[in-house]
Structure 1
Amino acid sequence: MRLRSVPLGFVTILGLLVVIALTASARSFAASGVPAWLQAHVGAGQDQIAQVVLERARALYLKKVDEGAVKNPCYFAMDATRPSDLGGGVLGHRYYVVCEASQSFRAISSGHGGGRNLKGVVNFVNGRECAKNFGNAMDSELTAGGAYMTREAKTSFKGFYRVAAKQDAAFMRTFIQFDGEGEAANARQRVIGGHAAQVLKGMCMRKNPTSSHADHDGYVPFGTLVDYAGGRSNGCTSWSSSDAQQIISMVKGNPTTLYIYPESRDIAAVAKAAAGGRALSGAGPYWNASCLKQIGTPKFWPRETLEPVIAQYKADHPAPPPQPVPICKGP
């Protein structure tokens, strides 16, 4: 069988086209500094990350590596403009674990700050699905975007809960403290960090004098373990129990960076665009489209203005004196 000869000019043109295509692709990756394998995860779909969120998270990580502050091969990012609860028991994936050395990218769920309703004064509550309000004020229970570093891990005993008939387990929850920069610089003061989205509710005291956790009267706290992975937090980053175990093991004694989007500048840019009736485009400020449609215009509550309001509200509405935890009824 004879092979047809291909004109040399055609081969040359084809080769040039391939080179041009590869060069253009390389330039697009070089422009953002994001490697090709990681760029493939950029997008608006489930398990994808927005370009601006990835670029800022990566820049923060590389900066801290250059400074010698981070040796961890992985870093984190969170897009708090995305939905948390998609309904039907499905959680939105908006917390990202990126390990460039092993070319690993993973998207998981994470809660956002629920905010508060200071009745008769001001309401900055967030819904379960999408966050409209953000801020860095003490006692605001709001998420503050910006640059963070993971720090020390503290594990605390919260009480016992029932796991099977006549079988109880101790609930030990680990909290990873965050240190923030800029608007998030008061993260430690606000006790902002990451932990499993689990809590004991319906607390009572049960007699168990042999327990190492018993008080001087021989009682231990007992409650019902509640998982709120699809809910809201007090401003901390909360993960599912299984995800929390993995993340905590990654950063315990080996700090890394976390970048949370949006910052106040992003919220201001989106609010300005919305006020001008302009639709957000790829070249403009970023916000998740489905959440923006639901919340309308996002708002940032700076500590300078919100903290005095919260402080005055607390002074006008003093908390009732603490009541002793009741004794458990039944076995």
Structure 2
Amino acid sequence: MALATERTEDVPDWLQAHVGTGAGKIAPVVLHRARALYQRKLAEGVTRNPCYLAMDATRPSAASNGAPGRRFYIICEAERTFRTVSSGYGNGRKLQNANFSNDRHCAKNFSNAEGSKLSAGGAYVTAETRTSFKGYFTQSGDKTPFYRTFLLFDGEGETENARERAIGGHQARFLKWQCRFQNPDSPHADEAGYVPYGRIVDYTAGRSNGCTTWSQEVSQDIIALVEGNPTTLYLYPESGDINAVAAAKQSGQSLAQAGLYWNAQCLAKIGAPRFWPKARLQPIINAWRQSLPKHQPRALPICN
């Protein structure tokens, strides 16, 4: 249960000043759990990083002024630094037998099912990075290769299938392929000497495929912080929080009376959140995949 009043007595005064439910603040329950996870992993010797990460996926994607909403936290207690940045959440899917999609402003649906494209709250530890080539795009008049680094997460409990789900963090940009051109000298050329070409699409603070996504600058900062030096990430809300908030809404009980937390602006927008357990949602996703018609891969057209 997500008690909004979970204790923060041991939080240092400088960090306590950042605790709250307003813009740029971290909710008490999110900080309490993020610190507890970090301190546990420190004691276990899993991490020695002086910083830890947290995310509140109940917050909106945009602030009142239209700027990206800040719901991801980088906290370094030894340095007394607290940084809030934007981050994406899972967009889900709209299938014939189940609609578990999320809009662009607030997340309503959550799940740990593989292929759901949804976020799953809980405990994670950052793992290794993998950098992959995505294609070429035009930058300053030149065709430039686009590489994206993916930071893997290892989960536990309900999030232990993070690797199976390919859940991690990366910059909120992808290359939308348009065509292919000959570049036989490229190490990424196919057997015929072609490489893909497209345009960069930036979706900072928008939705993702279930991963945590950041702006290009923030992504570089976070990867530099944790590469070879893992730390913890606590993502709120967990399934128990979601179910408790939904039950309170159904009974007409206020979250304050129930001692629960959800961002008020997003709760008003979504009505009530929903957690889709893997046991229920996975068969639906698998059946949908099996129903898809088989198509031969299509070759990209040649660039003009």
Fold in common (TM above 0.5) = yes
Once the two structures are superposed, residues 16-51 of structure 1 have per-residue CA deviations (whole angstroms, 9 ceiling, x without a partner) of: xxxxxxxxxxxx998532111111101122211000
Q: Deviations over 1:113-170 (max 9, x none)?
A: 000001x2111100111000000001000000000000000011111100123x1221
Residue 19 of structure 1 corresponds to which residue in structure 2?
Answer: none
- Asked whether 1:291 is paired with 2:279, we answer no
For 1:24, the equivalent position in structure 2 comes to: none
Question: 2:248·2:258 contact (CA, 8 Å) conserved in 1?
Answer: no
2:126 paired with 1:140: no
Work out the CA distance in 1 between the residues paired with 2:149 and 2:229. Answer: 15
- Identity of aligned pairs, percent? 56
Structure having the larger proportion of residues in helix = 1
Aligned residue for 1:326, secondary structure, equals coil
Show the 5 A alignment for 1:117-266: 117-118=94-95, 120-165=96-141, 167-266=142-241
Cα deviation code 1:209-264 (max 9, x no counterpart): 22222222121111101111032100000000000000000011110000000000
| Higher deviation after alignment, 205-214 or 151-160 | 205-214
Q: TM-score, normalised by structure 1?
A: 0.87
Using the size of structure 2 for normalisation, the TM-score is: 0.95
For residues 45-84 of structure 1, the aligned pairs below 5 Å read: 45-84=22-61
Q: Distance in 1 between matches of 2:102 and 2:37?
A: 28
Say yes or no: does 1:96 pair with 2:76: no
The answer (yes or no) to whether the contact 1:116–1:123 under 8 Å persists in 2 is yes
The one-letter amino acid paired with 1:288 is: N
Of residues 299-308 and 272-281 in structure 1, the stretch that sits farther from structure 2 once superposed is 272-281
Larger displacement relative to structure 2 (136-145 or 156-165): 156-165
Q: Point out where structure 2 has 5 or more consecutive residues left out of the alignment.
A: none
Q: Which amino acid aligns with 1:196?
A: Q
The structure whose RCO (Cα within 8 Å, separation 6+) is larger is 2
Match of 1:312 among 263, 287, 297: 287
In structure 1, distance between residues paired with 2:19 and 2:296 = 51
Segments of 5+ residues of structure 1 without an aligned counterpart are: 1-27
Q: Distance in 1 between matches of 2:63 and 2:132?
A: 31
Please say if residues 86 and 129 of structure 1, whose CA atoms lie closer than 8 Å, have aligned partners that are also in contact.
no
* Equivalent residue pairs, number: 300
SS at match of 1:90: coil
Report how far residue 73 of structure 1 moved. Answer: 0.4
Within 2, Cα distance between the matches of 1:158 and 1:202? Answer: 9
* Whole-Å separation in 1 of the counterparts to 2:6 and 2:59: 25
Secondary structure at the residue paired with 2:23?
Answer: coil
Q: Any conservation in 1 of the 2:61–2:69 contact (CA below 8 Å)?
A: yes
